[in-house]
């Protein structure tokens, strides 16, 4: 049985008519860049997320870069980021000649270790970028409190977490000063190319972001500030507008799939419960834990499982075995920032961030997309059980 990591075709087929019509309408209008369709999408996203401003951006990476530019992050400023994330989280800091100051992650959620964040604050620290990794919220109450005390901006990297709710029901990306989202096709809400979104409740910041999105010209061709080309195009906007009403049902299906995996791994004797952080004979597979699950009956999207991550000791062997059995997997993220060549100047070394290194060495992402069938999930778990039986 073939199990791809992600198959976007069934989602496209289910909305084909609406999507095709919307794209043809853009072609007929020949209005491609920003414009009324982008505005419509922005308004819909602002309402869905519960934020004052939602601003369409060229990508999730550009959303992060533009957020830092709008906050006037200067060369030499320190910005605290987790060492275990997608590259863009730290890359954007360095692109502004600011310094990414790294923290470890929590061993259960993979999100920023709040105590390490507190320890890393200096007189040069200007901002922190918590990442809602794999679709689960970081500990925003604690982060906001520490940030407030130390006069720091909070830029939420919600690229993997559109629609994820914090324990109080607020959508992530609307809690800090600025939220950054990605519409990259493999995210839960993906467009037909690159795209992203910036959110804020602050009118002044929104104004700065909108001006810097078009090279900082205000009015056009008169520049008080320097921006860039961070524009979103109308084709991406209409795709998002068509897909947005379905996002919650897709997230629900991802959550169901995760629950099925968890149940079946436990039934197979490979794990005792979710959220374990150490391997032993009863926990050969460490399962992801949705830490805010069941805290409230009204919060539904406590985890949207952009990725379903398990951890195993012989990760690379398991991956090879699954590949041979036509099960696609991915390693997020094999090298934390402190061990990346391009960040050698940060003087990181092996052992600096044990939880992140453990995650990087043992995690493997299994297929979790909404249209995954029960048989496919059963097959994946049975093959992993087979792998361990032969060990």
Ligand X SMILES: *Cc1c(COP(=O)(O)O)cnc(C)c1O
Residue nearest to ligand X (CB): 60
Asked if 157 interacts with ligand X (CB under 6 A), we say yes
As measured in angstroms, the least distance from the Cβ of 172 to ligand X is: 12
Length of the chain: 391
Asked if 131 interacts with ligand X (CB under 6 A), we say yes
Which among 335, 328, 294 has a CA at the least distance from the CA of 308?
A: 328
As measured in angstroms, the least distance from the Cβ of 46 to ligand X is: 19
Helix H segments across the chain?
9-29, 36-49, 60-70, 88-95, 114-119, 140-149, 203-213, 234-243, 247-267, 315-324, 354-362, 374-389
* Nearer of residues 88 and 121 to ligand X, judged by Cβ: 88
Q: If 0-12 CB within 10 Å is exposed, 13-18 middle and 19+ buried, where does residue 324 land?
A: exposed
Helix (H, G, I), strand (E, B) or coil at 103: strand
Return the range that interacts with ligand X (CB under 6 A); candidates 152-160, 223-231, 260-268, 337-345: 152-160
Return the range that interacts with ligand X (CB under 6 A); candidates 40-48, 112-120, 155-163, 287-295: 155-163
As measured in angstroms, the least distance from the Cβ of 159 to ligand X is: 3
Return the range that interacts with ligand X (CB under 6 A); candidates 39-47, 97-105, 156-164, 201-209: 156-164
Asked if 116 interacts with ligand X (CB under 6 A), we say no
Asked if 77 interacts with ligand X (CB under 6 A), we say no
Taking the C-alpha atoms of residue 220 and residue 217, their distance in angstroms, rounded to an integer, is 5
As measured in angstroms, the least distance from the Cβ of 63 to ligand X is: 7
Binding mask 50-69 for ligand X (x = CB under 6 A): ---------xxx--------
Binding mask 185-224 for ligand X (x = CB under 6 A): ---------x-x----------------------------
As measured in angstroms, the least distance from the Cβ of 185 to ligand X is: 9
As measured in angstroms, the least distance from the Cβ of 95 to ligand X is: 13
Among 111, 160, 164, 174, which residue sits at the site for ligand X (rule: CB under 6 A)?
160
For the beta carbon of residue 84, count every other beta carbon within 10 angstroms: 31
Phi/psi at 147 (5° precision)? -65, -45
* Nearer of residues 241 and 306 to ligand X, judged by Cβ: 306
Q: Please list, in sequence order, all residues whose beta carbon lies within 8 angstroms of the beta carbon of residue 273, skipping any fewer than 6 positions away.
A: 266, 287
Q: Please list, in sequence order, all residues whose beta carbon lies within 8 angstroms of the beta carbon of residue 65, skipping any fewer than 6 positions away.
A: 92, 95, 96, 228, 230
Burial 134-150 (b: 16+ CB within 10 A, else e): bbbbbbbeebbebbeee
Largest CA distance in the chain: 69
As measured in angstroms, the least distance from the Cβ of 58 to ligand X is: 8
Among 84, 184, 230, 369, which residue sits at the site for ligand X (rule: CB under 6 A)?
184
Please give the size of the binding site for ligand X, defined by CB under 6 A. Answer: 15
As measured in angstroms, the least distance from the Cβ of 83 to ligand X is: 13
As measured in angstroms, the least distance from the Cβ of 108 to ligand X is: 18
Do residues 108 and 309 make contact, with C-beta atoms less than 8 angstroms apart? no
* Nearer of residues 227 and 285 to ligand X, judged by Cβ: 227
Asked if 261 interacts with ligand X (CB under 6 A), we say no
* Nearer of residues 89 and 262 to ligand X, judged by Cβ: 89
Phi/psi at 196 (5° precision)? -160, -175
Helix (H, G, I), strand (E, B) or coil at 162: coil
The alpha carbons of the chain give a radius of gyration, in whole angstroms, of: 21
Asked if 262 interacts with ligand X (CB under 6 A), we say no
* Nearer of residues 160 and 257 to ligand X, judged by Cβ: 160
Among 112, 159, 359, 385, which residue sits at the site for ligand X (rule: CB under 6 A)?
159
Taking the C-alpha atoms of residue 152 and residue 195, their distance in angstroms, rounded to an integer, is 27
Burial 215-249 (b: 16+ CB within 10 A, else e): bbebeeeeeeeebeebbbbbbbbbbbbbbbeebee
> Considering only residues 79-108, where is the footprint of ligand X by CB under 6 A?
85-86, 88-89
Asked if 125 interacts with ligand X (CB under 6 A), we say no
As measured in angstroms, the least distance from the Cβ of 295 to ligand X is: 24
What residues line the site for ligand X (CB under 6 A)? 59-61, 85-86, 88-89, 131, 157, 159-160, 182, 184, 194, 196
């Amino acid at each position: 049985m073939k199990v791809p990591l992600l198959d976007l075709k069934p989602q496209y087929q289910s909305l084909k008519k609406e999507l095709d019509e919307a794209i043809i309408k853009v072609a007929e209008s020949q209005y491609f860049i920003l414009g009324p369709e982008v505005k419509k999408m922005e308004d819909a996203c602002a309402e869905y997320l519960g934020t004052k401003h939602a601003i369409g951006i060229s990508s999730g990476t550009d959303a992060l870069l533009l957020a830092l530019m709008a906050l006037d992050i200067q060369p030499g400023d320190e910005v605290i980021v987790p060492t275990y994330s997608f590259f863009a989280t730290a890359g954007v800091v360095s692109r502004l000649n600011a310094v990414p100051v790294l923290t470890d992650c929590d061993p259960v959620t993979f999100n920023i270790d709040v105590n390490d964040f507190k320890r890393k604050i200096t007189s040069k620290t200007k901002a922190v970028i918590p990442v809602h990794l794999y679709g689960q919220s970081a500990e925003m109450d604690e982060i906001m409190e520490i940030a407030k005390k130390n006069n720091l901006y909070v830029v939420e990297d919600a690229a993997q977490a559109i629609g994820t709710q914090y324990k109080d029901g607020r959508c992530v990306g609307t809690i800090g000063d600025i939220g950054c989202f990605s519409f990259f096709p493999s995210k839960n809400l993906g467009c037909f190319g690159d795209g992203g979104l910036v959110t804020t409740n602050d009118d002044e910041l929104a104004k700065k972001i909108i001006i810097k999105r078009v090279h900082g010209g205000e009015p056009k061709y008169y520049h008080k500030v320097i921006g860039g080309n961070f524009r979103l195009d109308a084709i991406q906007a209409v795709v998002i507008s068509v897909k947005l009403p379905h996002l919650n049902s897709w997230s629900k299906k991802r959550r169901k799939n995760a629950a099925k995996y968890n149940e079946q791994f436990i039934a197979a004797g490979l794990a005792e419960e979710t959220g374990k952080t150490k391997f032993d004979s009863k926990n050969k597979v460490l399962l992801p834990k949705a830490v805010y699950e069941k805290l409230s009956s009204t919060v539904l999207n406590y985890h949207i499982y952009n990725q379903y991550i398990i951890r195993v000791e012989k990760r690379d062997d398991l991956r090879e075995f699954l590949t041979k059995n036509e099960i696609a997997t991915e390693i997020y993220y094999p090298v934390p920032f402190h061990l990346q060549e391009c960040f050698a100047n940060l003087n990181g070394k092996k052992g600096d961030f044990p939880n992140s290194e453990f995650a990087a060495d043992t995690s493997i992402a299994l297929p979790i997309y909404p249209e995954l069938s029960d048989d496919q999930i059963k097959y994946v778990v049975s093959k992993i059980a087979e792998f361990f039986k032969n060990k």
